[in-house]
Chain A
Amino acid sequence: MAETKALRAPLGLKLGNAAFLAVWIVVALFPLAWTALMSFKAPVDALSANPLRVIFGPVTWEHYKAVWITHGFYRNFLNSLLITAGVVTISLTVGTLAGYALARARSNLAFWILITALVFRALPHSVLVTGYLPPFLNSRELLMPLWDAPILGWILHLFAPVPPTLYGQPWAIILVLVSINQPFTIWMMRSFFMNVPHELDEAARVDGCTHFGAFWRVIMPVMWPGVITTGLFSFLLAYNDYLVTALLLDAQSQTMVPAISQFLNRDTRASDQIEAIAAAVSITAPLFVLVLVFQRQLVSGLTAGAVKG
């Protein structure tokens, strides 16, 4: 389509815009690009005072090899994967169902549930984590009565002869992160559902769906941008978490983020630092992939109104 006169900018303004954008891109990208560059260089080049050596020094994969294989970073990666997948799955499932129910509920109770959720969201994470730490350490004794209970105990014995110690268990961290994340996902999903007109559910129910069928066949198909956007935020919370994972996991069950800080803290040889940098770059890569894959849904999810009928 031809540009209208009103949208045509003078040449000077165009150049100015381009120059500003160029500068801004360099400033924004520099730390990221520099980190990525350093991770592929030998310590002499990477830590050199001459920037040209950092840029043009020979490429090496040795740090990645050291991090992932020698130091067993893949274990941290698997722990992160488990925790992130668990948190995203649980908080999205609960968030979607609860968000829909709360968006459609007309009772006062719904309002108070939402306010309660907000209060929990407002608590500093460190308060929650310090609350979790002692019971996690003593969970074996604390949970023992459940194992001794008449019927429940028999069922629980099928899974484990004694209650587990929750400290240092990645799957137990899932529960903690979900409890931190859940209020937010419920609120966010609810606001997405509020944008879907009531008439859609009602039309579907009159047209022949059950209440759940209306939710599944009519409401969910227009909700995917909301689900993916909320899912991304849940992913980021679990993936980037430091506080909870650092406090409630031990060295063997550590996730990637606290593991990197350990690399940096070691700081005995120059190559240790570059290895920490390589680990940091390894963490960033999946995020890029994720955003690229879900780009379209994220844009329509973040610019609300896309789900309107």
Chain B
Amino acid sequence: MVGVVLRNVTKRWGSFTGVHAVDLVIGDREFVVFLGPSGCGKTTTMRMIAGLEDPSDGEILIGDRVVNDLEPKDRDVAMVFQNYGLYPNLTVYENIRFPLKVRRVDASTHDARVRKAAAMVELGDLLHRRPKELSGGQRQRVALARAIVREPAVFLMDEPLSNLDAKLRVSTRAQIKNLQHELKVTTIYVTHDQIEAMTLADRVVVMNKGRFQQVGTPTEIYDRPANTFVAGFIGSPAMNLMDGAVAAGVFEAPGVRVPGLVGYPDGPATLGFRAEDAEVAAGPGGEIAAPVYSIELLGDATLVSVRVGPALVAARAPKTFRAEIGDPVSFRIGAAGCHVFDSASGERIEPAPAMASPGPARADLGSTMPIGATA
């Protein structure tokens, strides 16, 4: 049973703090994705787990060992790098064999293990090539094979797909997901791509500015974002956010009036809803009424955007929906699809529990069901 525990882990460079005292418990065989924009500290956190950076403060445990003072080689982790990190002077075979060789693993087992690892990532016929003769996708598969050949306690993957083209990214992503399922190894994966995070993770850690914004299953962070940052980062398109005020259960902003928000305190607030939770109709009548700002045909749906104050708000209409820019449209959004955030701190506001409202009931459903489904 090998999990990873971060206790109060901090990284400072001079006066700049890259990672602010983060705590996390990663379970055995769990697939955890660190997600966030570039510079948010996600790679630094992973490199501290690998031992390539020293934490300024706090403790890192792999299994039940505190590894702060251990060299990377003694932590029993394997890492896949964004730029592959293959040894250019060695063949694919020797690249994959390298961890076994330097760790003085019984030489008679090398060949079988290298071939098995290569077969798992479908590299069988490329073993005699050198890295520079391979395409990006093949190189990344060599790096994966090198990581799995030793059967480490923890896999660390630092944006392994970001140098690949879009199509290859999808197939390699599926391969990584399958590999982790087969090998049953605790995996930490860093990415800035929320689709990768949603598709791969058992749990997602959303990071921004060196802090954990939310830790939860993909469904949790999608259905109940903890703050406006997570809401605005997750989803494609991201959640619509409008600044306004709640008064007596009614949210109002220029051109917007959403009633039925029972149990929320009065005062300034940010209202969020997802594009797919809104219905689009021509002409006035819905909670949001405004002229069309842009219309995007996605194939399976039509995305209609309007302006609410400074914010651009989008809704998904059926694929047959057509309108011209400037035509008046209205979005119907039920209170059930709405998320209310504190306008100052950006934190999610839950309605007072005494008053039954459809908002939290839906959110509970979202958070409990997938845990059972993925665990």
Contacts and interface: CB of A to CB of B under 8 A. Distances in A.
A203 B82 CA distance: 11
A211 B83 CA distance: 20
Contacts of B78: 206-207
A221 B98 CA distance: 14
B102 A202 contact: no
Contact of A218 (B84, B87, B143): B87
A199 B73 contact: no
Contacts of A157: none
A246 B78 CA distance: 58
A207 B73 CA distance: 6
A309 B134 CA distance: 12
Interface residues of B, number: 27
Chain A interface main SS type: helix
A2 B249 CA distance: 79
Given A206-B50, A210-B73, A309-B131, A199 B81 contact: yes
Contact of B85 (A202, A211, A307, A308): A202
Contacts of A202: 50, 52, 72, 79, 81, 85
B107 to A, nearest CB: 15
Chain B interface main SS type: mixed
B73 A200 contact: no
Contact of A207 (B52, B83, B102, B156): B102
A217 interface: yes
A305 to B, nearest CB: 11
A210 B86 contact: no
B79 A203 contact: yes
Contacts of A217: 102
B89 interface: yes
A218 B83 CA distance: 16
Contacts of B89: 221-222
Contact of B102 (A200, A209, A307, A309): A209
B88 A205 contact: no
Nearest to B82: A199
A72 interface: no
Contacts of A16: none
A223 to B, nearest CB: 10
9 contacts: A199-B84, A203-B143, A203-B146, A206-B52, A206-B73, A206-B77, A206-B156, A210-B73, A213-B102
Leading 8 A-B pairs by shortest Cβ distance: A199-B85, A203-B85, A208-B102, A207-B99, A208-B103, A199-B81, A206-B79, A205-B72
Interface of B: 50-52, 71-73, 77-79, 81-89, 98-99, 102-103, 131, 143, 146, 150, 156
Given A203-B85, A206-B73, A309-B86, 5 more contacts: A199-B82, A206-B77, A213-B102, A309-B87, A309-B131
